[in-house]
A and B are shown apart, each in its own frame.
Chain A
Amino acid sequence: MLVGTLVVFFVMKAAPGDPALVVLGDFATPETIAKFNADRGLDAPWLMQYLDWLGGILRFDFGTSLSVSADQDISALLAFRLPKTLFIGLYAMTIAITLSLILGTLAAVNRGNAIDTGATSLAVLGVSMPDFWFGYMLILGLSIGLGLFPSYGFIPPSQSILGALHSGFLPALAIAAPMAAVFTRTLRTALIENLDREHVMVSKSLGHSGRFTFFHHVFRNSIIPYIVVVGLQIRYLLGGVVIIERIFGVNGVGSLMVEAAFARDYFVVQACAVVFLAIVLGVNYLVDLICAMLDPRRAR
């Protein structure tokens, strides 16, 4: 996490552009720029700036926005935006996991026949489609074409859960599709590998039904590599969120990050990056915990 904050901070410092110029515009004089920087501590040595910023993070204080939402507390900005992003992210994850559990299991059980080919082709399609393209296709088809879903804008879950589920469906699906494809393939491969294990045959030879054997000897074991991949895909999910929020006009952390980057609002970009970093690390830690619980060979 500490290494992550270092990278986030210094990459942003190395980025071109000066926030003072963006905020003060064409009428900026060297004096007003110097004052702007001094007010916000931007004239201090980088190391001091970093330590100052890091200290703030530990108190959940990300500083104030420079240009995107001038002089607003970034923590408040995040508190307003983050729930929407988390909702879309969880929504997408739920769709991806549900789809892949069904498709992956169907494919593995029907290995080699038409159902398997269908599910696998769908998965290849999902992996090959760029998510932004798929997003536009969804808008074209389901929104403009059939009028089933709104093409732009998002009703936050705090206002209406149903509204959020409805208006968030397309962005969530756009993010979920490529992930569902990866999950499906992972699950299918793991299931097929475990189907051939000797303990599966032993279970059958002891008189256990096909269903019992599949659940306890095949699915139960395959879910471990599956969860590992789900955890790894979190990074992809967040990347997708940034793009898809822009396309569908979801007022979340992803679009905040893009807006801030255009406005050279380093503090906001950094804050968003740190939030994403915390999510990725948190999820990976959780995945490790779950895996240790599910697989005694990993537990200490």
Chain B
Amino acid sequence: MTVPLLDVKNLNVTFQMASGDLPVSSDVSFTLEHGKVLGLIGESGSGKTVTSKAILGLLPSVGTAKSDFIRYKGRDISDLPPHEFDKLRGADLAMIFQDPVGSFNPVKTIGWHFRAAGRVHPEGHGDIAADAAEALRKVDIADPKTALKKFPHQLSGGMLQRCLIALIMFSRPSLIVADEPTTNLDNLVERQIITLFDKLRRDIDASFIFITHDMTIAEQISDDIIVMYAGQIVEHGSAKALMHAPRHPYTQGLVKTARELEGDVDTLTEISGEVGTGHWPDNKCRFAPRCPHYQAACDHAVPLHPVAGHGAVRCVMATDKEATR
């Protein structure tokens, strides 16, 4: 068996708050094979972003990550000293954030950002200015030379998003985490960006962790999908299996709503209740208070367990025998 691109085992992230330690992500384990796209789904506060930032070593100072290991191309990067991690970021691991406008320094030109990126990872660049223009051309910026001279506030949100994608891909990273990169864009632009993403990803042969709360987008772009709830993975499987035969009641709720959105309905099904933040119980199912199938067994710790022919599910009702419900 080949070494997976990314192999994460038992990642726990805690935030040290004034009120005490707050667990924000618990026992997250997954692997990502080279060239694949992993969709990471969940509502706000479910731990998607924090998990990804922990992998890239980008947690805020209040955050602490503990894990058995985080292996990138077989090398454990969970305890790398900062200057070693700097070498890895950009050229190997990269992240695209939600807000394209905020992602650029407002007092520097677009071109400055490319030059800086080219200086820190000069490998593979001949003439940085020419390469930057070429990178912008690839994301359909009509006049790259002019765009490079502009300041961020002189470009539109959609253009900035494409510039940002070009910038992140400039150093040809092998693994890109995209954190809801289309949240701030309208529907039409969103489709274009997703398509562009996929094309460029194949160009530079990069793998993707795609964070979103949109099931339809996740299905479209991902090979595998992880659904997170309250800091835990509740379901992990192929995009196809999850979208067509979801096994966790939470995933079922998400898929149902997504299908309704595609169709023409008057009312959307809502998963009642709220996830709340922090201090989730360890010894019972965290989704139980909102679950339509709540039963006595849910009051005990529920492990994420493999389900034959599907993936892994954290629900007492998901067993190998029962295929559909």
Which of A204, A206, A210, A294 gathers most chain B CB within 10 Å? A206
Residue in chain A with minimal CB distance to B170: A206
Chain A nearest CB from B89 CB (Å) reads 4
Which of A217, A224, A296 gathers most chain B CB within 10 Å? A296
Contact between B116 and A208, CB atoms less than 8 A apart? yes
Residues in B with CB closer than 8 Å to A160 are none
* A128 on the B face (CB < 8 A): no
CA distance A27 to B106 in the complex (A): 71
Chain B residues packing against A (C-beta within 8 Å): 56, 58, 82-83, 86-91, 93-95, 97-99, 102-108, 116-117, 120-121, 151, 153, 164, 167-168, 171
Contact between A201 and B97, CB atoms less than 8 A apart? yes
CA distance A206 to B106 in the complex (A): 17
Question: Which of B58, B90, B168 touches A201 (beta carbons < 8 Å)?
Answer: B58
Question: 1/0 per residue A187-231: CB within 8 Å of B?
Answer: 000000000011101111111111010001100110010000000
Contact between B103 and A296, CB atoms less than 8 A apart? no
Task: Indicate whether A206 sits within 8 Å of B107 (C-beta atoms), given known contacts A198-B99, A198-B102.
Answer: no
* A300 on the B face (CB < 8 A): no
Question: Which of A201, A207, A210, A224 touches B107 (beta carbons < 8 Å)?
Answer: A224
Contact between A216 and B108, CB atoms less than 8 A apart? yes
Main secondary structure on A side of the interface with B: helix
* A43 on the B face (CB < 8 A): no
CA distance A207 to B164 in the complex (A): 15
Chain A nearest CB from B77 CB (Å) reads 14
Residues in B with CB closer than 8 Å to A204 are 58, 89
Interface size on A, as a range, is 20 to 34
Chain B nearest CB from A117 CB (Å) reads 15
Residues in A with CB closer than 8 Å to B88 are 207
Contact between B116 and A205, CB atoms less than 8 A apart? no
Main secondary structure on B side of the interface with A: mixed
CA distance A158 to B98 in the complex (A): 59
Q: Other than A205-B58, A216-B116, give 4 A-B pairs with Cβ distance below 8 A.
A: A197-B102, A204-B58, A212-B120, A216-B105
Contact between A207 and B120, CB atoms less than 8 A apart? yes
* A295 on the B face (CB < 8 A): yes
Residues in B with CB closer than 8 Å to A295 are 106-107
Question: Which of B86, B97, B108 touches A208 (beta carbons < 8 Å)?
Answer: B86
CA distance A197 to B116 in the complex (A): 18
Chain A nearest CB from B32 CB (Å) reads 18
Contact between B97 and A202, CB atoms less than 8 A apart? yes
* A59 on the B face (CB < 8 A): no
Residues in A with CB closer than 8 Å to B153 are 296-297
CB-based closest 3 A-B pairs: A207-B90, A198-B102, A207-B89
Residues in A with CB closer than 8 Å to B98 are 198
Residues in B with CB closer than 8 Å to A202 are 95, 97, 103-104, 164
Residue in chain B with minimal CB distance to A221: B107
Question: Which of B89, B99, B104, B105 touches A205 (beta carbons < 8 Å)?
Answer: B89
Residue in chain A with minimal CB distance to B98: A198
Contact between A205 and B86, CB atoms less than 8 A apart? no
Residues in A with CB closer than 8 Å to B86 are 207-210
Contact between B105 and A217, CB atoms less than 8 A apart? yes
CA distance A198 to B103 in the complex (A): 5
CA distance A224 to B121 in the complex (A): 29
